[in-house]
Amino acid sequence: MQPLRRRQLIDATLASIDQHGLHNTTIVTISRLAGVSSGIISHYFGGKNGLLEASMRHLLKELGDTYKARLAKVSTDDAEGRVMAVLEANFDRVQTSPAACKTWLAFWAEAMHQPELARLQKVNAQRLLSNLRAALKQLLPAARAQLVAQGLAALIDGVWLRGALEGGIDTQQAKALCRDYLAQQLKYKDS
Amino acid sequence: MQPLRRRQLIDATLASIDQHGLHNTTIVTISRLAGVSSGIISHYFGGKNGLLEASMRHLLKELGDTYKARLAKVSTDDAEGRVMAVLEANFDRVQTSPAACKTWLAFWAEAMHQPELARLQKVNAQRLLSNLRAALKQLLPAARAQLVAQGLAALIDGVWLRGALEGGIDTQQAKALCRDYLAQQLKYKDS
DNA sequence: TCTTTTTAATTGAACGATCAATTAACAAAA
DNA sequence: TTTTGTTAATTGATCGTTCAATTAAAAAGA
């Protein structure tokens, strides 16, 4: 029963943030969406904050799982394929829904003054960067790989941010933008 | 006295968001930082919300003024210089301080469920894009200019977002990243 | 199999804290 | 004196948390 309820409450949390925004999300809006009483949140998560942290962990895990699934489909020496796996995962349908974008942005903002959320966010940002850099090192000089990895990471986050504010990401256009950046940068080899 | 107090309260608002985060910013934390009583906020801004809107307008105006100042220094037909003016303005010292980054991110998150803030944000995002596109059209085919403008806009926002979450932007590195993107894209003319 | 006991899950009302807004009173300037 | 600026206390609403009480489920005993 415990894992069922926890999942149910996390889903309700994401739904509430989508509908009302984080700052209008209360334990009442969450518990009402989950169809349970408000008291149960403290019972399973130790409080509202614990639930928010668990919800962010859930999103991060979902992103990580999607990336691993994409990565498993490309061979280890297919560097360009590994970069594309990062892009595909980040612009997966699940991650680019208006609800997901809103929630990510809300958590990012909250992380600025909530140490545990900041920690989670930092780990994720670092992993994104290091995944990109590792793959790019097979295609470019180390210093160049570092720069392009930072560029791609910023491009991904920027597209996401602008998408969140506009109410949705055009995933095709987003991927085209990143793929174009990568293609232009790989020409560097020849120059 | 009115313009003085308004400016004083807006500054205190930005300071409070920097120190406590938007969601822990109350009319008390603001008025204490400004050294006045809390009631004065309603007197000058009609309420907390009015003050938040005015603060966001203040930031937007500051950005716009910086851009205009930079733009005035380049000739109309210096397309690359006009693009650089956008970059210089966005990565100006005033806009890239930890406090400014935090505040921008907080307002972006808030704008998702506050129509007036969303409107202000949208106007700004559109202007950034159209400034870039107009300049790039002198250097690239229209369709290409549109794509590169979107790429640069996303890159700028992405660098900003990642900087906010890491506690500060390295402006030199940020500009180098964007300048590199632009340089790579301008090679397109020849291919 | 049928009670009895124990454990786990859940509720919802009550509580204290905190918020934005209001207001009546006060001070300073004109 | 009249207007403008400002304060400090108060109001009503809302928040997250807590907890005693209730229900459902499982285990144990007869």
pLDDT tens digit sequence for A10-40? 999 999 999 999 999 999 999 999 999 999 9
CA distance B177 to A154: 10
Out of A110, A153, A158, closest to residue B157 by CB: A158
Task: Check pLDDT > 70 for residue A158.
Answer: yes
Q: Does the distance separating the beta carbons of B161 and A108 come in below 8 Å?
A: yes
Q: Is the pLDDT of residue A157 over 80?
A: yes
Indicate the helix (H) or strand (E) that contains A45: helix A39-45
The pLDDT, as a whole number, for residue B191 is: 47
What is the per-residue pLDDT for A93?
86
Q: Give B155's contacts in chain A (Cβ within 8 Å).
A: 151, 154-155, 158
Which residues from A are below 8 Å from B164, CB to CB? Answer: 112
Question: Which B residues in the span 113-132 are in contact with A, Cβ-Cβ below 8 Å?
Answer: 113, 118, 121-122, 125
Q: Give residue A189's pLDDT.
A: 57
- Confidence class of residue A191 from pLDDT cuts 50, 70 and 90? very low
Separation of alpha carbons A157 and B160, rounded Å: 10
Give the whole-number percent of chain A exceeding pLDDT 70. Answer: 97
Query: Cα(B74)–Cα(B27) distance, rounded to whole angstroms?
Result: 43
Given this model, what pLDDT does residue A188 score?
54
Give the bases of strand D that a protein CB approaches within 7 Å: 4-9, 14-20
User: Distance from residue A40 (CA) to nucleotide C11 (C1'), in Å?
Assistant: 8
Report pTM: 0.92
pLDDT at A172: 95
pLDDT of amino acid B152: 97
pLDDT tens, position by position, B114-125: 999 999 999 999
Please give the pLDDT value at position A3: 79
Helix (H, G, I), strand (E, B) or coil at A86: helix
Interface test with chain A among B110, B162, B186, B187, by most A beta carbons within 10 Å: B162
- Which residues in chain B come in under a pLDDT of 70? 188-191
Please state, in angstroms and as integers, the Cα–Cα distance from residue A4 to each residue in A7, A8, A34, A99, A179, following that order.
5, 6, 11, 22, 40
% of chain B with per-residue pLDDT over 70: 97
Per-residue pLDDT at B99: 86
**Domain range summary for chain A, segments of one domain joined by +:** 52-188
CATH class held by domain A52-188: mainly alpha
